Structure 1
């Protein structure tokens, strides 16, 4: 999205840990992507697509046993989805969302790498995620936490794009570049890990609203089975910073199908080639999983 302020979105994320763009999608785009999403949700809940986030499990690997009680669908660009995937090619590789990601990472589209595109939906029974940072384990010492927070702060950009009203994401603003307070450390490592934290806010999104956030911000989510949710959830990497992104991205199994991805979208093919280079670099390397739970 055009901005009169140089790197406006980068500056907002640097300050607060997130930035919200209201009405990022037009009404026509909302309708288009909602229809595509509803088709894929139906397909997945019927047991025809195995790559889903099962209720009760927060982080990969997710169980292979089928259940319609899921809170997310992974691999929206997976070639085995065929025509169901095509609308998401154009969304993920659109010039206007790449412009935002480029602003955040201070590069143009040629400096961006493809990463992930998933979907977050309402489960059939209520479910809440623990407080977490996406790639820093909660048990790390203060010294290690401080070191990791300073490392490659702008190596990637992560987003939620709401297609329906969405008030699931809960964040602690400005927590992305500092160690946890004693309260935060306690409430992110105790048996509950879902308690209220001083200063937390709920990110309220209307259909078509977009939030990008630093994945080191303290965040969690609360999913109501009664409130329909359709939110596109994805990320982009910055070329030459892939090493720090590798575990968080490749843990989702994208290297297994990426070479088979074919698209008519030139931007997507450009992004794909950057990620292929990263997968080759870590071929036969056991990276494990970023978080447990």
Structure 2
């Protein structure tokens, strides 16, 4: 398959049973990834992925390594079918899988980082309970104005965390402030609002409290030069070397995810075919909303990979 982007999902894409069908079809995945992951982390992540309930997968320190590991398994299967990317990008947590796909990070190092990232984010939530909610309908500028008004009036932290597509923006911050933003957005005619089942207020300045500690974790890991072009969703621009990748991962803790701009940048390079390489289908929806006419293939399950392999573009 030529001129294709691999997109890697973030937290919120987790599903009970994720990866189980892939291992049934490709047993080598268990020995290559899942059992080593259990040993690295010191608990049965594979069991949680395959047999855990939705509630089991909610804690941030579980969700993040689970989504990451499933994405790495999907990447392995796609490569086995001869499907490789010409560019990669990841949504928040998905940037770790994207950097693995680009050869910047070893998957084992990335797994350890993802686990620690989840632990630190959970600690922030324990100190300052937060929330996230999707606001669907209003343009980014209106959602930004609502956040600024609520923050100014209450003194609380609430910001736009994700610019997912032209009509979906996620707000993040202290719980009451997020609820207030949602109420104001509804009163002003938002089509819909959705409270997100996440374990912390990601991508807002509350997360700045753990940047230094996580930066020390990043400094212990080897970052190599990209073998495949990789775009950062923090900057919507290219990650040119390993040092820049390290800086971006630190910055993304408290920085907004500029996903729609990232998709537009990929499209501007001449790519109009996308593969969602991980659990869920949220990123495929963002592609359709942001780039009408682009082709996107969800590939988080064996049957969906079968459809991708059979697609004419894969020939």
Shorter-normalised TM-score: what interval? under 0.3
TM-score when normalising by structure 1: 0.28
Query: Which protein, 1 or 2, shows the higher relative CO under an 8 Å CA cutoff with sep ≥ 6?
Result: 1
